[in-house]
Chains A and B, each alone.
Chain A
Amino acid sequence: MDTIAFQGLIGLSLAMYLWLISAGLTIIFGVLRIVNFAHGSLFMMGAYLAFTFYGQLGLPFWLAILLSLLGVGLLGLVMERFFLRRIYSIDEAYQLLLTFGFILILDDAVKIIWGGVFKIPPIPAFLDGAWRAFGRPFPVYNAFVIAVGLLVAVLLWALFEKSWWGRIVRATASDREMANAIGVNVPRVFSGVFMFGSMLAALGGAMGTPVRVASPGIGAAMIIQAFIITVIGGLGNLKGAFVSSLMVGILSAYGTLFFPVFELFFIFVIMVVVLLVRPQGLFAR
């Protein structure tokens, strides 16, 4: 019984990690209608910047995370403002090419700046150690990831449902032409949303580093998981991404318990099953 409960907790922390990496991708697709394949690379940049600010420069943990978000947000802003903006109106294949180009560029940039070997910053003292949960040690850091994931969910809900920025973004997502006609500066909303989504990617990366190493190429691994989560949830649907993260995280945790060899396999199995039943995802918009 304890094993089942404990594994649920492990699943929940995996779920919140998946949620953090897929939320920004979902928001960007929901509004701009582009799949940003470089989302994983922004995640990677968040991880490396956090490593530098926290692990190398020794800044306080929270400040390091904040600076990583700002740095990656700025990078996202440049990507949108000077590159992506030029291709919204042309064939979607160019989005794939351009964002894939960014994956290659950022992977190389990381190798040049930080070298090819992986980096692991220390876990901050207050998040180190483990609590006992259901008779087993549960890492405090995993509890921290769960807390941040839930907090982000609540904040995003409030932002989109209760703030005017959120309502303007939702109006633009549902009908960008009409939004433009009532006075919404749509290009600026796009920049803002892309920057915001980039910062969410960076948050996942910065939070993930102490437990998952930062190395060139983690972006590619991460984008696959994030993309699958958003496809299961329904492309562009934030609630869908949250539910899908929970489902995949928890089912994978139990799956691993019974079939340990298939660990990485579960996310694909869940995707195939969901898409066979609901090709549009759990919550299509």
Chain B
Amino acid sequence: MMLEVRDLVTAYGQSLVIQGISLDVTTGEVVCLLGRNGAGKTTTLRSIMGLTPPRAGRVIFKGKEITGRQPFEIARLGVGYAPDDRRIFPDLTVEENLEIVRRVTGREGRWTVERVYQLFPLLPGLRGNRGIGLSGGEQKMLAIGRALMGNPTLLILDEPSEGLSPLMVHTLVEAIRQIRQEGVTLLLADQNLKFARRVADRGYIIEKGTIRYSGRLDDLWADQEIVRKYLAV
């Protein structure tokens, strides 16, 4: 098992945002968290990454408990994370944004700057540009590339397709398939079931901080009632 989350409870101040979520990600799988805006997807991912430490529950990565560990330790164990708001380092160049991860994690492997450039062909032309000048879509690609630079065994992507043009979504789908072929396990959060279905096998629907559905995305797609109840706007 790549990742096990057990009875996770996370709060911002007084408000319990995650109210006992359990989920599993098997090695080699692509799993997607679905749910409307504000359902608790981002918070779940942040709790796994150690950015918003949970109040209760356990996060187990490759059989090892990582609950309450510092994010940098979790990153160094092999969890890559690309946040929904991208958070590219504004005054580093594209290439520095990638290279810095290799330096700080010390995790050498298949993913190099050149491999990331192959995956996202719009990046090499921008390699000397500072992060602050990139478009939203370019930042999104760079954020995923940056997360790969630590050669993660588990890659966490929050809202990867949000705000992308159809052409960029296509690049992203191809990239995710290639990343998976390289043996990386993925956990995504996305609101777009159509997109999720193209890349993920299984999904969990979150609403108000609890899991309402779990199963194969193809089955979910066929179940219009659940889709309407938890996903449609």
Contact of A183 among B76, B90, B92 (CB under 8 A): B76
A177 contacts B by Cβ under 8 Å: yes
In the complex, the answer to whether B92 meets A182 with C-beta atoms within 8 Å is no
Interface size on A, residues (CB 8 A): 17
Query: A175 on the interface (CB 8 Å rule)?
Result: yes
Is the CB of B91 closer than 8 A to any CB of chain A? Answer: yes
Whether, in the assembled complex, B81 has its beta carbon less than 8 Å from a beta carbon of chain A, the answer is: yes
- Interface status of A261 (Cβ within 8 A of chain B): no
Q: Quick one: which of B23-79 are within 8 Å of A by CB? A: 49, 51, 70-72, 75-76
The answer to whether residues A168 and B51 also contact, given A175-B87, A181-B72, A182-B75 and a CB cut-off of 8 A, is no
Number of A-B contacts (CB under 8 A): 61
Contacts of B76 in A (CB 8 A): 183
Majority secondary structure, A binding face: helix
Residue numbers in B under 8 Å from A167 (CB-CB): 92, 96, 100
- Decide yes or no: A183 and B89 within 8 Å by CB, A167-B96, A177-B51, A178-B83 being known contacts: no
The answer to whether residues A183 and B105 also contact, given A170-B89, A174-B89, A175-B89 and a CB cut-off of 8 A, is: yes
A184 CB to nearest chain B CB (Å): 5
Q: How far is the CA of A167 from the CA of B100 in the complex (A)?
A: 8
User: In chain B between 92 and 109, which residues have their CB closer than 8 angstroms to a CB of chain A?
Assistant: 92, 96, 100-101, 103-105
Interface of B is mostly: helix
- Given contacts A164-B100, A164-B103, A181 and B51 within 8 Å (CB-CB): yes
Most buried by A among B72, B90, B96: B72
Nearest chain B residue, comparing its CB with the CB of A175: B87
**Interface residue range, chain B:** 20 to 34
Beta-carbon contact of B105 and A182 below 8 Å: yes
Q: Does any Cβ of A come within 8 Å of B140's Cβ? A: no
Q: Tell me if B146 counts as interface (CB < 8 A to partner A).
A: yes
CB-CB contacts below 8 Å: A161-202 with B: 164, 167-168, 170-171, 174-175, 177-186
Residues of B within 8 A of A (CB): 49, 51, 70-72, 75-76, 81, 83, 87, 89-92, 96, 100-101, 103-105, 146-147, 150
Which residues of A come within 8 Å of B, CB atoms?
164, 167-168, 170-171, 174-175, 177-186
Closest 5 A/B residue pairs (Cβ): A183-B75, A183-B105, A178-B87, A183-B104, A180-B71
A-B contacts, 5 listed (Cβ < 8 Å): A181-B49, A182-B72, A182-B146, A182-B147, A185-B104
Known: A167-B100, A182-B105. 10 other contacts (CB 8 A): A168-B103, A168-B104, A178-B89, A180-B75, A182-B101, A182-B104, A182-B146, A182-B147, A183-B72, A183-B101
